[in-house]
A and B are shown apart, each in its own frame.
Chain A
Amino acid sequence: QVHLVESGGALVKPGGSLRLSCAASGFTFSDSYMNWIRQAPGKGLEWLSYISGTTTYTNYADSVKGRFTISRDNAKNSLYLQMSSLRAEDTAVYYCVRAIRGYSALFDYWGQGTLVTVSS
């Protein structure tokens, strides 16, 4: 059974940094593209980034390019999102999301999310 558990969400000041983690289980982690998607309070969904199974390919939304870095450790079945230069508009629930094998952004399993609040 696929299980994704995010952690690392916190209250951080504008301009600060934060690292999110996602622990994956129940599938061959290295076979799947993994993504981060966020949802601001009461708002819709925004795709942020993906990373390929072998880490060869990464991609970012313009809103986070140059500020956020996605990475993974296949030996630990873990996905990460390093966030820097955080802004108030980055306040959201951040989801770790698996893509169906063979696709980069066809999302089948989602974690429950971790809340990041950017405020002074």
Chain B
Amino acid sequence: IVLTQSPGTLSLSPGERATLSCRASQSVTGNYLTWYQQKPGQAPRLLIYGTFSRATGIPDRFSGSGSGTDFTLTISRLEPEDFAVYYCHQYGGSPYTFGQGTQLEIK
């Protein structure tokens, strides 16, 4: 399954709402879709799994939605520490694939 993320880069200011998209080339089994955050020089961090569920310790300003082939990560009010690269990933079937990433940068 090919995952295509849009936009490639998103420029926003702290306090604004961010909407990141992930589109799959075919339906994701079980809506087994996750979102990861990666900061420079760090390993990715799990944010959302199963399309909707927040991982342990993830603030509630992060939310996931979608089904089938269209998925969205929403950050309701951006904090300075949220500026990073975000990847979607499907674990519904092998080979397990990632999107190419969305760079969320400070405007």
A residues adjacent to B (C-beta < 8 A): 44-47, 59, 61-62, 95, 100, 103-108, 110-113
State the main secondary structure of chain B at its contact with A: loop
Known: A107-B89, A107-B91, A113-B43. 20 other contacts (CB 8 A): A44-B87, A44-B98, A44-B99, A44-B100, A44-B101, A47-B96, A47-B98, A59-B94, A61-B95, A100-B49, A105-B96, A106-B32, A106-B34, A106-B49, A107-B34, A107-B36, A108-B46, A110-B44, A111-B43, A112-B43
Complex CA gap A108/B43 in Å reads 11
B91 touches A103 (CB 8 A): yes
Complex CA gap A107/B43 in Å reads 12
In the bound complex, residues from chain B placing their C-beta under 8 Å from that of A100 are 49
B55 touches A105 (CB 8 A): no
Residues of B in contact (CB 8 Å), total: 21
Question: Which residue of A has the minimal Cβ distance to B32?
Answer: A106
B69 interface residue (CB < 8 Å to A): no
Complex CA gap A110/B94 in Å reads 20
In the bound complex, residues from chain B placing their C-beta under 8 Å from that of A46 are 98
Question: Which residue of B has the minimal Cβ distance to A103?
Answer: B91
Complex CA gap A62/B101 in Å reads 21
B residues adjacent to A (C-beta < 8 A): 32, 34, 36, 42-46, 49, 55, 87, 89, 91, 94-101
In the bound complex, residues from chain A placing their C-beta under 8 Å from that of B45 are 110
State the main secondary structure of chain A at its contact with B: loop
Complex CA gap A105/B42 in Å reads 20
B76 CB to nearest chain A CB (Å): 23
B43 touches A106 (CB 8 A): no
Question: Which residue of B has the minimal Cβ distance to A46?
Answer: B98
Complex A-B: 22 CB contacts under 8 Å: A44-B87, A44-B98, A44-B100, A45-B44, A47-B95, A47-B98, A59-B94, A61-B95, A62-B95, A100-B49, A103-B91, A105-B96, A106-B32, A106-B34, A106-B91, A107-B36, A107-B44, A107-B89, A108-B46, A108-B55, A110-B45, A112-B43
